[in-house]
Structure 1
Amino acid sequence: MWMGGVPPYGYRVENRKLVIDDEHAEHVRWIFARFLEIGSGTELAREVAKRGIRTPRGNRIDKKYLYRMLSNRAYIGEAVHKGESYPGEHEAIIDRATWDRVHAILQESPRKRAARTRADTPALLKGLLFGPDGAAFSPTHTRKDGRLYRYYVSQTVLKHGAGSCPVGRVPAGEIEAAVIDQLRAVFRQPEIVAGTWKAARADVADITEADARAALQQLDPLWDELFPAEQARIVTLLVERVDVGSDGLNVRLRVDGLSGLAREMLAGGIEAAA
């Protein structure tokens, strides 16, 4: 028997009992299933927004709301009273096996979850890395003694063989770290901050230069906490292309991407893995 208050998303109240709302219940099932696939509340919140899924009152569904949903035992047909869970009189929306798998993920630390999803994430510089001859580099990997080694290989080498390009293959971890280090340095450059502020003002009139600086500087300590998919999205947003040569690399940035990122940071749209 429902004792009052707002019913869980996916249910409505009839005669003081919870009854499944079919349309919203489908959203609940999709949210649980999608979380099993990506393991990220931040990415899930973004996908929920893209699908136009909102609360019954029309409010945006954020990461905190999603985690409350994923932990609500009403979805497995139970009622909670004073911290204790009991069989409820309502029908479950989520089966117990799905619930248990979701909660196995939730019990992992954010860092472990990030590491677990890393292998399924597109290479950080896919489509962005080019060699001294202008040819694109493609991500690849090999396994040796049970360890995974990731690389980017020049299309020239793939077509014409080793030696056909002065830089034919680069270790993925090293080149990705070098690009990220350059990005982190960019966030601290006064001229970049000023340019980001001017670009962001076109959409947010009251943004100050200090706001833009604070937004960009937030990303530096936050970076290592982000899910790999979020890191890849930000790199694609910020980087136009990376040219690698015998004497180093050159990172070409998207100024509009920087201003967009600053607006996201100010709006709280980028969150650590959790």
Structure 2
Amino acid sequence: MGARTAVIYARYSCNKQREASIEDQLRVCRDWCRREKVAIAAEYCDYAISGRTDDRPEFLRMIANAGESDIVLVYMMDRFSRDEYDAPIYKRELAKKGVRLVSALEAIPDSPEGIIYEKLLEGLAACESKKTAIRTRRGMEGNALKCKTNGVRIFGYRANEDDLYEIDPDQAALVREAFKRKINRETTNAIARDFAQRGVRTRAGNPCGYSMVYQMLHNRRYTGRYEWGGIVKEGGMPQIIDEVTFMQAQGVKGVKQRSKEDWGEFALAGKAICGGCGRNVQGVSGRGRHNVKYEYYKCPDGCVRPVRREELEGAVVSALRELLQDREEALRIAHMVAERSDSEDVRARRKQAAESLSAAERGLKNILNAIEQGIIAPGVKERIAQLEEQQARARYDLEAIKDEEIDPERFADFLQCGAGLDDAMLLKAFVWQVRVSDDEVLVTLNYDTENDEPARLDIQRVRGKLEWCPQRDSNPRYPP
């Protein structure tokens, strides 16, 4: 009978652990082999990979090579696997080829009782792994409540010594440039190609591509909104892009520029209808003398005379801006929006957070009263920590809900700020339908009067006393 042989398997879970951990495991396993007079056939090591997964290159290579030795030796059983399903599956694969799994530190007897002991160790390893995951998640949630990075890297930011986000000036300049170019209707691909040519790279070191720019243009964190694992905190990180710029970029479609053509955007497309037949008027273009290009809204049946795009859109925008310059009207609209933003879902979240806070405070008070009376139950320290965490989370949730509330005064300021709302956004937000006829243009807005009748603009006259109403189909099958 030949000498026994063994392969050694070692691993550690994450990059926060030291690589010396592998050397420590190998040292103990080699000492075991010397004591037991077992020859080492090979050594397999996985670095910074969790035992809860079997997607470990060296582990899988060891399983594939099973049969090259009599024993697979590990420092402790949890190094082999921390998953309650993987461990028995792969041990069975080893057993099929006559290979036994052995722990260098855990003396498992070679008897029927040893089977129970081994299963117990497997269960403890799986249990400890899940408890570690819970503790890690809890710790990361605590960090998130303090708006720490939790290892999440975002282009445009870097982590400071306190693990909080701070702006990276060079990358932030590229973020602002990307938003500006998108608002100017440049395509995402064109921006990405230019960035790649200028040496901009992804976190993985690859040249900038479409996905990187797309994610950049849709990442609300640039407005200062911190997000991690369902925790959201407005103003939780430095702002690179203001809210208006972010919203403008979301509604812009990139346009491929032709070398000798400048294509306009028909902002009232789908909203403007013919006063004669009720069909959508179409955006068309033509050229006059000196090859000057003109753009029109035109009825496909020719019921009404075509109207110049800039004249129609300009007249509607002017009337809307005149409406919003009235502070009383702007405040009335702002209050309507604020009332509708306080939805049933928001009220339910507010109630749930308030109840959670109240329960946590009652629990803490009861524990303190019990301690003052000399009653100290087992696990009281852990229970206090849980209640304090529940209290902090509930307070955070209430604050976050408060941050989501719309301040009518500030919203009215926004509506009255000419720079805050460009023409396209103004038309999109306020216009429901534009009925074009030869004699007049009747604009129906996205809210109703006090008598639940549509608020309208006839370009010269505005009806007041408004109440906000839901969005409706701007092109009904039959004209009213």
Q: Same fold by TM (over 0.5)?
A: no
Q: Calculate the TM-score normalised by the size of structure 1.
A: 0.39
- Tell me which structure has the larger Cα radius of gyration: 2
What TM-score comes out, normalization by structure 2 length?
0.23
Greater relative contact order (Cα 8 A, min sep 6): structure 1 or 2?
A: 1
